[in-house]
Amino acid sequence: MEAFVGVLGALSATSGSGSMVCVRIGHGKARPLGRGVESATGGYGMQRRARHRTSKSDALCMTSTDKERVQTANSGDSPMGEHSAETHGASGKEQGVSFEAFEARAAARSGVRLVPVWRRVFADQLTPVELFRCLVGEDEPHKHAFLLESAVTAGSGSVGRYSFVGADPVVEVVARRNQLTLTDRRDAAAGESSAVTRFEHEDPWTFIADFMRELKSADADELPESFAGGWVGYGGYDTVRYGEAGKLGFASAPPDDRQLPEMHMGLYTSSIIVDHFSKLLFIVEWVDLARHEHRLRSAYEHGMARLNQTVDVVMRRHLLSPLRSAFVELNTSGPARCASKFKSNMTKQQFLDGIDKCLYHIGVGDAFQIVLSQRFEYDSSVDPFSVYRALRVINPSPYMIYMQCEDCVLVASSPEILCKVSNRTVTNRPLAGTRWRGKTPAEDEALESELLADTKEIAEHVMLVDLGRNDLGRVSEYGTVDVVSLMEIERYSHVMHISSTVLGQLRDGLTSWDALRATLPAGTVSGAPKIRAIQIIDSIEPTLRGPYGGGIGFVSFQDSMNIALALRTMVITRAADGKAWKYFVQAGAGIVADSNPESEYQETINKSMAMARAIDLAEQSFGSE
């Protein structure tokens, strides 16, 4: 049971009881049809049990030498001086700031270039939202940064263990079709310009994978094992065209009316990890030894100086912009007021005509399922971070995302893993089949039974599980792909879904980047068979999908990956006047042979409502900028 962080701590979970039915899919093993599971198996920091390896010293403190170094690096008095060296145990200085430990980590493996230094700080005075505002002000929407969190599923009793915060990546890769822009700030001194290179490349994912082969990282068992630094960003739905250029070239894609990048990934050597279980912040800085000609003392001192700058920002608790407080007076489960002003990129008749075209292709055997979507837009003066704060209340999900990217801001509450790699185990989790939550436990159980008895929903889900098995089979060791859970019911704040989990062991010689390329986009946003379904979608939808239907998340320096499917995701750009914001919300419906066009159309409306309610709440609570 995991979440955005590679391991969000699901400290407890409950499972409902009920009858079990076995189903066999393809060549997989027979697995039970689960009933009443109240837990998320995806997110940025969930795990079944609280587990964290700590350093030899459990005390949070500094030596007097450390305090002098911080006071030298930062003007004025630092609140870090309140921590006394006497609180250290027999092991002396904490491992994260010990030069001896830094030296040992650098020597433990041959070829190491990246070595971390870190400090642990009490986490009971700053929330993740406040931490983000310590790094990024409201007047800095173009500053590239992220906040990744995980919420619980309704009634599970589990909690998200980790949240991740970061700003100012040292390297960025932005892809627009086959034109890549590489921005490298690693050698830029403070105030100097970055090195920017533009060039053609057939596949940005393979470029990043090759880039990382040079950056071998040291082991740091004391840090959270899921993520403590690495690549964070998104790859849009249309990045599938890089690996399938012959069948899905950009020339045959719908018009691109927003001109957003197909992909934006940033390399973050500085990050803050909130451990909600241990009540600690891990403030981490990775040092590239090659930038210091492998002179360890120079590298260590440079890393400590940068680390202490971030520590000082956190310890001072100075928010760059105020976080306004407000009452929540809106009915968070009611209809969204602003939805009546949403403008779609298709009329209702155009969407219904599109469904008819899908049904024709299904009828002649071109596809089994086609996921047709429509995109809504809405202008508002309320800022994206306020909408994210509202979305945390409206629709808590395993993947809560706020990300400031090139030319857009992404705000998401996704329930679904696109692809996850941990200890070379690859995870894919189809999530398809939906019912609203009941108003009472009895009604909830009745809706669950109805969902699991719906032959259309079951058929659709089985197709997507089989597609997930095929995707993982492309990158997994032979015979290791297995459906470990089939058709369990997961409950969220407003809806319940059918979910399944497919695992495989990553093949020798491959990395997380290969797994990501094999699974993008998920069958739940494209269809089956995937390539033909995308071709049909290209012929019907009027605009390029962009980030919607792609993946958002991270790949760590240790090649752990956790990428959420970009569902229930707002793509936000500046409006033409440069003041207001334009909110794009996209939702799709899986069309199969016995689909009811009117019901499928309404499904896309319903799926967009949580995003609309979040905008409503932000406008009511925080008003205009």
Q: Which residues are catalytic?
A: 497, 524, 548, 568, 590
In 344-394, where does DSSP find H-type helix? 348-363, 384-394
- How far, CA to CA in Å, does 544 sit from each of 58, 203, 262, 553, 576? 51, 19, 10, 21, 20
Report yes or no: 259 and 186 within 8 Å, Cβ to Cβ: no
CA 269 distance to own-chain centroid: 18
Residue 464 has which token pair?
Answer: 């997507």
> Which residues are 491's β-sheet partners?
496
Residues 6+ apart with CB under 8 A from 235: 205, 262, 263, 265, 516, 520, 550, 551
Q: Cα(211)–Cα(194) distance, rounded to whole angstroms? A: 18
Closest by alpha carbon to 67, among 87, 52, 40?
87
Report yes or no: 289 and 186 within 8 Å, Cβ to Cβ: no
CA 225 distance to own-chain centroid: 17
Q: Cα(46)–Cα(490) distance, rounded to whole angstroms? A: 15
Q: Residue 338 CB: number of other CB atoms within 10 A?
A: 18
Q: Cα(35)–Cα(22) distance, rounded to whole angstroms? A: 12
Q: Cα(318)–Cα(131) distance, rounded to whole angstroms? A: 9
Q: Residue 405 CB: number of other CB atoms within 10 A?
A: 26
Q: Cα(337)–Cα(413) distance, rounded to whole angstroms? A: 20
The residue whose two tokens read 């500085």 is 270
Report yes or no: 171 and 21 within 8 Å, Cβ to Cβ: no
In 522-596, where does DSSP find H-type helix? 530-540
Closest by alpha carbon to 201, among 144, 239, 257?
239
User: In a 3-state reduction of DSSP, which class is residue 166?
Assistant: strand
What's the number of CA atoms in the CB half-sphere (13 Å) around residue 284?
27
Q: Residue 417 CB: number of other CB atoms within 10 A?
A: 30
Cis peptide bond upstream of 224, omega within 30: no
Q: Using alpha carbons only, give the angle 116, 117, 118 rounded to the nearest 5 degrees.
A: 120
